[in-house]
Amino acid sequence: MTSVTPVRYPDLRSESLMTRRAWWLVVLNVLIPGSAQVLAGNRRLGRFALGADLVFWAVGILLIAGLLVARSTVVTIVTNPIVLWIVVVVLVFYALLWLICTLDTLRLVRFVRVHRVAGTIAALFSVAALVITGGGALYGAWNAGVTAGVLGTVFGDGNIADPVDGRYNILLLGGDAGADRVGLRPDSISLVSIDAATGQTTIIGIPRNLEKVPFPAKSPMAKQFPDGWNCADCLINALYTYGEEHPDLYPKAKSEGSSPGIEATSDGVEAVTGLKVQYYALIDMNGFSQLIDALGGIDIDVKTRLPIGGGQDSQGRPTGVDKWIEVGQQHMDGNTALWYARSRHADDDYHRMARQREVQTAMLKQFTPANVLTKFQAIATAGGNIVETDIPQPMLGKFVDLADLSRKQKITDLELVPPQVETWDPDYDAIHDMVADVTKVASASPTPNG
């Protein structure tokens, strides 16, 4: 007789023995699914489940180790939509396996031979453990499926760009991108310049009313406008509309995940800043409030009292205001943040640009790993609805690393607005010097954001 005989062939007449055996089987099933079957039931099922357990824990350990030593590579792999759909299938498989093992364990317990109270507690414990493990696996599968859908929609298979002069430069546009909008003009234009080694980030704000925009020599726009974008209505934010109305200027734009309007704007921004634009992101300002809500809101130190809703009378005074955004530290939901970023009351477009930059910075601070994990589904869904970009999926791991580094440092702002820049007659050589100075200083001496 072996030590396992009382478990496989118990004395059915002993209630105390059967109760102890029940707890052994239940606890073993929770800790090591399949072990109860090896000891007291179908050994083939038990060995299969134990093998699956070993694979599960081995992959988990490798994943944790990979995140510690090569996070960028791991993130690139696990954000591949194909890999994510494989994860969905695997997690559903484990949820079903744990369900089968739990039901079979409860069968092996033989509750009619177990003390009634102890048996009830053991059964409830098993069900609760199954809800946690199996439910957790199904929840993970659901999130993986949502992520695969979002990543497949937002990120494509575009070109993997190398940093230029040690920096990644991403054109960030905010506008009303609804299908019913004719002649979209970006509401905000920024160039986010990121040091490829340190993650130090500089945001260059470009006023939408910037005039006399030049173009790089190789740009199709330079052939159309050799003297620059210089006419009565030639503001920089009108480049998008012009590009969309003349798609023949950028025939490869759509196949590369961009659009003629984006490419025309990108060429103008390159000439304005002197920095090469590698990627773009277009944010639908009508929908970005969903993303802020998904993040749990943002915190802003309000300097000027601003209205929500309403309009202005003939003397510029607010009328029909729903409520006010008061001065001081405020926690804003998406709708409040949208009004804060876009309000034209009480100041000018340049102050409005500064507020938009505050919102962008506050949102970046909210993209912490803990916040993203706890609110992942809402964030992923909102992001997929409002963001359009040509950043390729294989670059996500790199940008996740850079975003994490950036959060630990102070973001540098450069606003190309009066009095430093005369938007109606800009000195672009001087602007290039300003951009070069601010990116050089930012890269040389990143400041911790204590």
Local confidence pLDDT in tens for the 450 residues of the chain: 444 467 788 878 888 889 999 999 999 999 999 999 999 989 999 999 999 999 999 999 999 999 888 888 888 888 888 999 999 999 999 999 999 999 999 999 988 888 999 989 999 999 999 999 999 999 999 988 988 888 877 787 778 889 999 999 999 988 765 444 444 567 789 999 999 999 999 999 999 899 999 999 999 999 999 999 988 789 998 999 999 999 999 999 988 888 999 999 999 999 999 999 999 988 877 667 888 888 889 999 999 888 888 777 777 677 778 889 999 999 999 999 988 988 877 667 788 888 888 887 788 777 766 666 667 667 777 776 677 888 888 888 888 888 888 878 888 889 999 999 999 999 999 999 999 999 886 555 545 554
Per-residue model confidence (pLDDT) at position 346? 63
Contacts (Cβ under 8 Å, ≥6 apart) of 13? none
| Residue with tokens 């696990």, as numbered in its chain | 78
Per-residue model confidence (pLDDT) at position 143? 87
Alpha-carbon distance of 147 to 142, in angstroms, equals 9
Alpha-carbon distance of 18 to 42, in angstroms, equals 19
Alpha-carbon distance of 212 to 227, in angstroms, equals 8
Per-residue model confidence (pLDDT) at position 164? 92
- Among residues 156, 208, 147, which one has the least CA distance to residue 389? 156
- Write phi, then psi, for 155 (nearest 5 degrees): -105, 140
Per-residue model confidence (pLDDT) at position 179? 47
Q: Taking the model in full, what pTM does it have?
A: 0.75
**Encoded tokens for 130:** 């199954």
Per-residue model confidence (pLDDT) at position 185? 63
Which long-range contacts link 85-88 to residues 24+ away (Cβ below 8 Å)?
A: 85/144, 85/145, 85/148, 87/140, 87/141, 87/144, 88/141, 88/144, 88/145, 88/148
**Encoded tokens for 281:** 């992101």
**b or e along 365-375 (b: 16 or more beta carbons within 10 Å of the residue's beta carbon)?**
ebeeeeeeeeb
The domain made up of 167-444 is a member of CATH 3.30.420.10: no
- Write phi, then psi, for 421 (nearest 5 degrees): -130, 130
Alpha-carbon distance of 40 to 26, in angstroms, equals 12
Per-residue model confidence (pLDDT) at position 314? 72
Residues of the chain with CATH 3.40.630.190: 167-444
